[in-house]
Amino acid sequence: MPARKIDIADGRAALAAVAAGDAPRPALATAVRYLLQLLDEKAPGNSVEVRVPPFGAVQVVQGPRHTRGTPPNVIETDAATWIALATGELTWADAVAAGRVLASGTRADLADLLPLRP
């Protein structure tokens, strides 16, 4: 989880900039981190690590706690895919089928948690 919580207004402004197209890199980073923050609020826990390099990562979903090394349940995707998934522009199944999401582990499935509807 980011050290600083992103304000709702800042998060929504970043998402609006991304939706408008050609958002500057700081706005893209804020949008990604804001959506990761919303996921953490919706599904707190430590059993699944969601990575959106280079902008952020968060551990979510109740279950066995992971503390060292590579987590057993990892989801990784790029910023554009993460934003599309989190906002409902792309379904989990379609993203996985298209190879836009790498998911490993028995708990690495966010289909029931997405979209976030910020």
Tens place of pLDDT per residue across the chain (118 aa): 445 899 999 999 999 999 999 899 999 999 999 999 999 999 999 899 999 999 999 999 998 776 677 778 999 999 999 999 999 999 999 999 999 999 999 999 999 999 997 5
Reported pTM: 0.92
SS3 17: helix
